[in-house]
Chain A
Amino acid sequence: MSSQIPSFFSNDIVLHVEGIRKVYPNGVIANDNVTLSVFKGEIHAILGENGAGKTTLVNIIAGCIKPDAGEIYVNGKKVNIDNPRTATKLGIGVVHQHFILIPALTVIENIALSLDSGFKLDLNKVREKILQISSLLNLKIDLNARIEELPVGLRQRVEILRVLCQNANILILDEPTSVLTPIEVEEFFRILRNLKEKGCSIILITHKVKEALSISDRITIMRKGKVIKTLTPKETNEEELTLLIIGEKQNSEFISLTEGNNKNKEILLLVNNLNVKGDRGELSVKNVSFSLYSGEILGIAGVAGNGQKELIEALTGLRKPESGTIIIRGENVINKKPKSLIKKGMAYIPEDRIGRGVILTMSIAENAILKIFEENPFSNKTIMNRNSITDYTQKLMKKFGIIAPNPNIEVRALSGGNIQRLIIARELSYNAKILIAENPTAGLDVRATDFTHRMLLDLRSKGMGILLVSADLDELLKLSDRILVMYNGKIMKEFNRNEYDIYKIARLMLGIEV
């Protein structure tokens, strides 16, 4: 056994993970030698940027994914958590980032579902148990309400009740506050403190520095899959934590960008007072206004889930905005369908390459012409011309370095980097003037990332206007002429290239006013 920690078998440690490592099939090292301990009755915050590996760690402890290396100890005993059931039995309760409640069922039915109640469903017994726990914690909730009728804050309460009913005494909450309003957050913290008093240990995953400071007993910072440090709120402050989260960055990293061609700039895209609702009906984009010029890369910085997705979907015609205007070359294109926006010269590299970017079960050629198959020579609008499609795709594959035996190979046989090349190739296939790139390098290896960056810079120099929406601050600083920081659906501030200040931007991204 590799344990060298003296207090290892201390009664106070309820959960200890040692040397956890997880490499995803695409090569991303999401957890690298992660070691941390959680004491009985403490609130332990795990703080880190998007992609730091927090959710991966949670999923490993919850038994949802298998680590490549490392050990987990619960109450001093080494355990093998190979599925979520085992975690539950060990008293580990997880509230995932994405809720797993069934909307059409009531609160009580949802909770009953997750309990091992044998063959016969005794709702009365479940009700008694819930009432017992909820009164203990002073949690109010209508047990007969259907989940779909409840606001997000209350749904979360149901999730917490659900894991408590499974007799969890180690509670893991993955980004629980990201869906809550400030008032709900206060109420939520009250519940956490209550739980703590009752002896529960709580792991609170968050990327919000302020929250971690205000609620937790100890804070562990993760960055790029590694644990950087564990400290108590008393011995640190916002400034230091922010630094630890984003890491050391050289300012020289982002001055190499050649000056854009400032002359003959024209406004390609003008967005005014745009309001867009999210999937849950909450306002996700709030009064956003900006303009995108030709020959520039305009970066949008922000932690995922702050309205970027909804903004992009409104711009590309995939989501109906509530109000505002989107003007492309003098015409208001709000409420236009994707097809007319494509015709207007809008290209889009989606983050979700597999779900939205390509059709995995269709060939490279079919994907390559997905946006232009109704044009000459690929078809005469009615009948497809397979030969010219194949010829075209062969040339495209050569030009963009897409490696595959032939154009009729299904896309699912390609690597992530090749799929990204294919998407870029397709998006450049119809002389678009505006390109929206959504986290274009997420999950790509170094080579593919470099290719993508070069491509974007090349397009910029050719006069394209590029909206680069990215959760990767390094990427934004390296590539963009201007950066808008988005937080909670609003544009917080605009930075010109000569004003870039990584800490200011990072703090704004985390919702800390400068």
Chain B
Amino acid sequence: MTWSDWSWVLPEAFSTFSDDVDMIYYVILWVTGIIFVITEGVLIYFLVRYRHKEGRKATYDHGSSKLEIVWTTATLVVCLALGIVSKGVWDTMKIDVPEGAMEIIVTAQQFEWHVTYPGPDGALGTADDFEVLNQIHAAVDEPVWIHLRATDVLHSLFLPEMRVKQDAVPGKDIPVWFEATATGEYTIGCAELCGIGHTTMNGTLTIHTAADFQAWATAQAQRPRPRP
């Protein structure tokens, strides 16, 4: 174990909105960090300063309405400000799926991820769709729109390096999107307890260059496969 294991720095992330998320995280970290240092500091100071000493009586005092009003308002303002800052990023991540994103279907099932691609015609639900298991492939700088589904129980699609997490609910089709900003291999995880094999329900997210992705998709589409 090294000191860096105690770090409060977030691991690097590679999606278009990850910087915004991390920024809010660091803002909260600073705000709460300062509050933490002040409150715990005051606490320790009081403990030392006002520890029992023979012959000294505590001050008889019931509080101060002015102080109550000040700290109530201050906390309220800080908390609501954090809420307002958060709202915009949340909407971007969960509501505003960009136009023209590549649509794929990810279906979670005990204990694997079935990923369906539209195939050469670019449309889902047609005969040339193809499916891969436990791997998502996408092109860098291209938005991906995942139709997240489940067949049995709840699962949760977790792409830590993309700052994406969304439960998959049987009977629902939940939109999830991200746009990777760097090529590479990343993690797919399941974050919702889904049964005995939950721990093994992982996979790989591969972000290709646009050309590589095309090549991969073409190769996959041509691969002979049994049609369900």
A and B: real partners?
Answer: no
